[in-house]
Amino acid sequence: MSAPALLQVSAVSKRFGGLAALEDVSLSVGRGEIYGLIGPNGAGKTTLFNCMTGLYDLSAGHIHLDGAPLHGRKPHHIVEAGFARTFQNIRLFANMTALENVMVGRHPRTRAGVLGAVLRTPGARAEEAAIHNRARELMEYVGLKNKGRTLAGHLSYGDQRRLEIARALATEPRLLALDEPVAGMNPTERRQMSDLFLRLRAGGLTLLLIEHDVKLVMDLCDRVAVLDYGRKIAEGEPALVQRDPAVIAAYLGGDEA
């Protein structure tokens, strides 16, 4: 390792009763990288995301973001540390407007409490205005400029994915973890999304990506790790990983060799 990694996952295991969902998984994501996490269904990709973001407790292992431990911390601490995520099956606040969803994302970076809200202190008012402005900027950034007043649940599928990203960006992450962000999208939408990812990276963000779309992964990712049955079976540049016999076996289910 030359430069210290932004995200360091060391020997993480996660067991649900007798089932080992993750077994001794280690990986490191460098600053400014787009890092892909691929593998067959049930390989443990989302479980790893849930472990990293504090939704699951680890059975063993350590996770560090920029040297600070994330393991054993609450989800909101992890967001505060600069690690935001989206969900595989879209978890927007469906009955709030799109703009309100993004405004919720400003929560960890703002302060106003009950007193500020009730008394409408100048500080609280200024903060509220700043939250509003930032949320609108982010909506525009992901291409949802005029959808602010629509209920999140009424947005089209692709727009919901975009909104989830805007909401995650509102927390000012250093690392953004996206769980199948282009699943179910058509080729045009996919292209727009990969443009968005490149713009985000150009803005200094590090991306961690779970994705099934091989072409997208090959085009976009600097490095990928392959999970199968909870173990990391390969890691490296996409083009090399693609030719790895273990990876081919995992995907084709073959017992070649």
Partner 1 sequence: MRERPRLALALLAVLLAALPFLIGTGLGNSWVRVLDFVLLYVLLALGLNIVVGYAGLLDLGYIAFYALGAYLYAWLASPHFGLHLPFWMVLPLGAALAGVFGVLLGAPTLRLRGDYLAIVTLGFGEIIRIFMNNLNAPFNLTNGPQGMNLIDPVSIGGVSLGKSLEVAGITLPSTYLYYYLFLAATLLVIVVAMRLQHSRVGRAWAALREDEIAAAAMGINTRNVKLLAFAMGATFGGLAGGLFAAFQGFISPESFTLWESILVLCMIVLGGMGNIPGVILGAVLLTVIPEALRYIGDLQRATLGQVVVDPADLRMLLFGVALVAMMLFRPAGLLPSRQRKREFSAQDGVAEQEQASLYDTKA
Residue span binding partner 1 (CB under 8 A) among the ranges 90-98, 185-193, 208-216, 226-234 = 90-98
What residues from 134 to 163 belong to the interface with partner 1 (CB under 8 A)? 151, 153
What residues from 176 to 215 belong to the interface with partner 1 (CB under 8 A)? none
Burial of 160 (0-12, 13-18, 19+ CB in 10 A): buried
Tabulate helix, strand, coil % of the chain (nearest 5): 40, 25, 35
57-93 burial string, b = 16+ CB within 10 Å, else e? ebeebebbbbeeebbebeeeebbebbbbbbbeebebe
Residue span binding partner 1 (CB under 8 A) among the ranges 84-92, 188-196, 197-205, 244-252 = 84-92
Helix or strand or coil: residue 187? helix
Cα angle value 53/187/89 (rounded, 5°): 30
Rounded to 10°, the helix 122-141/98-105 angle is 120
85 contributes a contact to partner 1 by CB under 8 A: yes
Residue span binding partner 1 (CB under 8 A) among the ranges 26-34, 72-80, 212-220, 225-233 = 72-80
Structure tokens, 85: 């995520």
Structure tokens, 216: 């997208």
Q: State which residue, 27 or 168, has the beta carbon closest to partner 1.
A: 168
114 contributes a contact to partner 1 by CB under 8 A: yes
Residue span binding partner 1 (CB under 8 A) among the ranges 61-69, 121-129, 215-223, 228-236 = 121-129
98 contributes a contact to partner 1 by CB under 8 A: no
CA 140, distance to chain mean position in Å, is 20
66 contributes a contact to partner 1 by CB under 8 A: no
For partner 1, the binding residue among 68, 72, 74, 203 (CB under 8 A) is: 74
In angstroms, the CA 65 to CA 48 distance is 15
Residue span binding partner 1 (CB under 8 A) among the ranges 58-66, 105-113, 139-147, 215-223 = 105-113
105 contributes a contact to partner 1 by CB under 8 A: yes
179-218 burial string, b = 16+ CB within 10 Å, else e? bbbbbebeeebbebbbebbeebbeeebbbbbbbebeebbe
- Smallest separation (angstroms) from partner 1 to the CB of 152: 9
252 contributes a contact to partner 1 by CB under 8 A: no
Binding footprint of partner 1 on the chain (CB under 8 A): 16, 50, 53-56, 74-76, 79-80, 84-85, 87, 89-96, 100, 103-110, 112-114, 116-118, 120, 124, 127-128, 131, 151, 153, 167-168, 170-171
